[in-house]
Structure 1
Amino acid sequence: MKKVAVFGKPGSGKSTVSKALALASGLPLHQLDSMVYKPNGEFVAREEFDAAYNEILRSDSWVIDGLGPINSFYERLAAADTLVYIDLPYSVSYWFVTKRLLKGLFVKPEGWPDGCSILKGSLNSYKTLKLCPRFWNDDFLSKLMAYSGSKDVYIIKTVSELNDFAFVHAK
């Protein structure tokens, strides 16, 4: 495990799992939200993101957390040796986004860029969750499983599996 891509719906626990993997393995952690957004919540220039992202992708090791622009996502899947897809039920993801919003009123959410509005970010997460079935679906799952012959592919479907995965890989 040298190049790990962690991805899934908003509020699925990507940042928690990514942090545990990075700490356990010593791999550098790159959270895409911190690369895609400026501290004020606006998008960084695409050229700026692409340059930083491509440098990370070419490096020898990494844990990358998030989706990011769609073409970069598929590049990451191809480059990674380990794929971690967190596919919790929608009700759980909505609850986790709500919990993050409430907690975020007091503490910055893990993996969020400094200065980002917790309210604006949470509203965007809710909007994204509503659109997720268009992307995170059976067709995507088939594409993901096509990688299983050449990569380690983990699909996490319950909170219990999420906790177990983070615990096992944090050792």
Structure 2
Amino acid sequence: MQRISVVGTSGCGKTTLARQISQRLAIPHLELDYLHWEPNWVEVPNEAMRERVSQALLGNSWVVDGNYSIVRDIVWRKADTVVWLDYSWPVVMSRILRRTLSRVVTQKEVCNGNRETWQKSFFSRDSILLWALQTYSKNRRKYTSLFKESEYSHLHIVHLQSPSAAQYWVFSLT
């Protein structure tokens, strides 16, 4: 495992796990959010995103986290492993709620100077909580289906269904 993609629904812990994998294997970590979001939550155009990701993944080893379908073909074509964080609904919702509250209260930077706000995080159509509600089941069906496609048959799929299973797996890496 030298080129790893970490996927899963919003708030499940993709970035945290990717950082742990990066440290454990001593390989670079790339967060797709940093390539997708400009300051003030401005999304980059799709072609710019694809170019940024292509350039970022030129190396022989990396771990990348994110669910951006616009670049999935690029990431997965180059990857040798996909780690799928497929946690239960209560685990995901408790994690995203706790993370979002913490970010709003502390004003911790999310990426590229962007910060979550009460309005954006809880009371808008762009709410990360609403996004998680809308995409949780879709993501589970989508990944189950994608992993069966022949174009991704080269990938080693690591299907982790609980945070404890994820931690056990990370600690097993050498």
Report the CA distance between 1:145 and its aligned residue: 4.7
> Which residue of the partner structure matches residue 97 of structure 1?
96
Report the CA distance between 1:6 and its aligned residue: 0.3
Give the paired residue count.
166
| Change in CA separation of 1:41 and 1:121 when aligned onto 2, cut-off 3 Å | farther
SS at match of 1:58: coil
- CA deviations over 1:87-123 (Å, ceiling 9, x no partner): 11122111111110222122626xx304223233566
> Which residue of the partner structure matches residue 77 of structure 2?
78
| Change in CA separation of 1:107 and 1:145 when aligned onto 2, cut-off 3 Å | farther
Report the CA distance between 1:22 and its aligned residue: 0.8
Partner residue of 2:143 out of 140, 144, 149 = 140
More RCO (CA 8 Å, sep 6+): 1
Percent identity reads 20
- CA deviations over 1:25-62 (Å, ceiling 9, x no partner): 12111101111001211112333322211112333221
The whole-number CA distance in structure 2 between the counterparts of 1:103 and 1:140 is 29
The whole-number CA distance in structure 2 between the counterparts of 1:8 and 1:64 is 12
Range moving further from structure 2, 160-169 or 76-85: 160-169
Report the CA distance between 1:146 and its aligned residue: 5.2
Where in structure 1 are there 5+ consecutive unaligned residues?
Answer: none
State the one-letter code of the partner of 2:12. Answer: S
Q: Following TM superposition, where does structure 1 have runs of at least 4 consecutive aligned residues deviating by more than 6 angstroms?
A: none
* 2:6 paired with 1:2: no
> Which residue of the partner structure matches residue 154 of structure 1?
158
The whole-number CA distance in structure 2 between the counterparts of 1:73 and 1:131 is 20
> Which residue of the partner structure matches residue 13 of structure 1?
13
The whole-number CA distance in structure 2 between the counterparts of 1:14 and 1:88 is 11
Q: Decide which structure has greater strand share.
A: 2
* TM-score under structure 1 length normalisation: 0.83
> Which residue of the partner structure matches residue 130 of structure 2?
127
* TM-score under structure 2 length normalisation: 0.82
The 8 Å contact of residues 46 and 70 in structure 2, kept in 1 or not, is answered as: no
The whole-number CA distance in structure 1 between the counterparts of 2:159 and 2:59 is 25
